[in-house]
Amino acid sequence: VGLPFNELPGNWRTGWLNLYHFWQEGGFHNVHNIMIHKFQKFGPIYREKLGFYESVNIINPEDAATLFKSEGNYPERFMVPPWVAYRDFRNKPYGVLLKKGEAWRSDRLILNKEALSLQLLKCFVPLLNEVGEDFVKRVRVQIEKSGQGRWTADLTNELFRFALESVCNVLYGVRLGLLQDFIDPEAQKFIDAVTLMFHTTSPMLYIPPALLRRINSKIWQDHVQSWDVIFRHADKCIQNIYRELRLDQKSTKEYAGILSSLLMQDKLPIDCIKANVTEMMAGGVDTTSMTLQWAMFELARAPAVQEQLRAEIFAARQAAQGDELKMLKALRLLKAAIKETLRLHPVAVTLQRYTTQEIILQNYFIPAKSLVQVGIYAMGRDPKFFTKPELFNPARWLKMDSTYFRGLSFGFGPRQCLGRRIAELEMQLFLVHMLENFKIETKRGVDIGTKFDLILIPDKPIHITLRAL
């Protein structure tokens, strides 16, 4: 059997009224909690219409599996309208983030070889390791300065700089010096622009870009300006490397970063390389830094887990005898801790796909070309899929009966996160160095909630104390 599409639960018949209610309830910053409530109200599948956009929402890992197994070779997700609108407005080329069909696939296969392949890890490790070590040095200086053997701070901006320094070292093979005392104001402008770009995206999600442009609202102007800063600064960085590469064909033996690699291969046109490197540079700031901030917060509240991780790292370091890659291979609990952090605090509130053919979800017929969203934030906090979901318990990932379609924080399949390997390695090495050097603490009883700012972020500053071990 199977029930018709029009019988799906949800208030999908009244799109504009919904958008109004949504806006009234402060929904733009609360998308994640509204979704949890809707799953409670309507069950594991509901249909929704907000403004112009209609979607089917699911929470069950089995349903996510059905969706992803039918996605085909050209998966498409929801194209964030203001991001597309900016590029069309300024005549900028798309990178993989916004491309479709064969154009997306051919670029993506080339980029996978330079950013996602497991063989790259040995190239990335030294680049990311040195940035992690420099962060530790910076913390030590701050601890010294305090004269109290510890340093307490909101680490948001420090982590933004760490993340940008990391992704740029991988992309360009160049250190920006963002972990020093005097930092390039251009780089800080870039960091602020990425945050503002995300922040100005969320209120424009459900309104068609053409309309926004026509009314020339403040939010649209801020959005355009932030992308302008992002593109201009990325362009400068790219030009520098490009010039260097032409001037002195210097030692081509040593790995010099993703950009050099792409330029030397000459498989993609330069404008396409630029577009993709810009996306990776922008995508590499808020994502890993916010996840690391959450990770430290959770570890601060779970001192026993912290000790277990320290023991694991100590043993792995001994056994690996200076081979970092070998050490990382042994860090099963640390990897689980990152997974666990992303379960409770995913960057993306949902994963989305347009169906390519009719599929059946929860016994309903879903026609081809429907937008289906997997509520990964809601899934991660549902006791049906994770026992005692409120508990930060990395070991669950090593003990669970089934992790089938539950660890989806980086997406799935050929359209999954392009920066996944970089992000994972960067976060693993950061936590290794921090745990080897400091005790991570936070004030007890401070409740930190989540805010939707296109990506999910803490709703108030997190104060972390780092104590020299």
Contact 435, 327 (CB under 8 A): no
Residue type at 439?
K
Burial letters 397-427, b for 16+ CB under 10 A, else e: beeeeeeebbbbbbbbeebbbbbebbbbbbb
Q: In the complex with ligand HEM, which residue's Cβ is closer, 220 or 294?
A: 294
Q: What is the DSSP string of 218-271?
A: HHHHHHHHHHHHHHHHHHHHHHHHHHHHHH----SSS---HHHHHHHHT-S-HH
* Among residues 202, 260, 409, 442, the one that binds ligand HEM under rule CB under 6 A: 409
Of the listed pieces 276-284, 354-362, 429-437, 441-449, which binds ligand HEM according to CB under 6 A?
276-284
- Residue 173 binding ligand HEM, by CB under 6 A: no
- Residue 345 binding ligand HEM, by CB under 6 A: no
Q: Is the dihedral of CA 179, 185, 190, 196 positive or negative?
A: positive
Q: What gap in Å lies between CA 47 and CA 11, rounded to an integer?
A: 7
Q: In the complex with ligand HEM, which residue's Cβ is closer, 47 or 108?
A: 108
Minimum CB separation of residue 467 from ligand HEM in Å reads 26
Q: In the complex with ligand HEM, which residue's Cβ is closer, 77 or 335?
A: 77
* Among residues 417, 425, 434, 457, the one that binds ligand HEM under rule CB under 6 A: 417
- Residue 419 binding ligand HEM, by CB under 6 A: yes
Q: In the complex with ligand HEM, which residue's Cβ is closer, 96 or 378?
A: 96
Q: Which residue intervals of 303-457 are DSSP H helices? A: 303-320, 324-329, 332-344, 376-380, 396-399, 420-437
Closest CA to 419 of 170, 244, 178, 183: 170
132 binds, among ligand 2DC, ligand HEM, none (CB under 5 to 8 A by kind): none
Minimum CB separation of residue 38 from ligand 2DC in Å reads 14
Within 93-112, the residues that bind ligand HEM by CB under 6 A are 96-97, 108
127: burial class by Cβ within 10 Å (0-12, 13-18, 19+)?
buried
Which residues of the chain form contacts with ligand 2DC (CB under 6 A)? Answer: 77-78, 80, 97, 205, 279, 282-283, 287, 347-350, 352, 417, 454-455
412 binds, among ligand HEM, ligand 2DC, none (CB under 5 to 8 A by kind): ligand HEM
Q: What gap in Å lies between CA 126 and CA 170, rounded to an integer?
A: 10
Within 286-305, the residues that bind ligand HEM by CB under 6 A are 287-288, 291
Binding region for ligand HEM (CB under 6 A): 77, 96-97, 108, 167, 279-280, 283-284, 287-288, 291, 342, 347-348, 351, 409-412, 415-419, 422-423
